Amino acid sequence: MAKYIIILSKKAQKALDNLSDYIAEPILSTIATLEENPRPIGYKKLKGREPFRIRSGNYRIIYEIIDNKLIVNVVDVGHRKDVYR
């Protein structure tokens, strides 16, 4: 299977920068696994929107998959209580 390219939006990058290292590291490793398989066990399509989400502890990673260009675009990263707003 071909590898996907991970692209972080400015919003996602800013959210990761604001997190402490011990919270951000597991999130970054989860994002890195999307490179091999953008549809891992536990991913879900968001209702009423195009993106998908994957869990990383109490945080959620919202991302889009562009299959024809092999790109995973990480749209947002945030705590589960705030990320869907």
The tokens of 73 are what? 């675009």
How confident is the model over 37-52, as pLDDT tens digits?
A: 999 999 999 998 889 9
Phi-psi category of residue 70: left, alpha or beta, with phi > 0 → left and psi -120 to 50 → alpha: left
Question: Quick one: which of 72, 46, 42 has its CA closest to 57?
Answer: 42
How confident is the model over 15-44, as pLDDT tens digits?
A: 999 999 999 999 999 999 999 999 999 999
Q: 10: pLDDT confidence band, cut at 50, 70 and 90?
A: very high
Which stretches of 1-85 are assigned E, i.e. beta strand? 5-8, 44-45, 52-56, 59-66, 71-79
> Domains of the chain, with CATH numbers?
5-79 (3.30.2310.20)
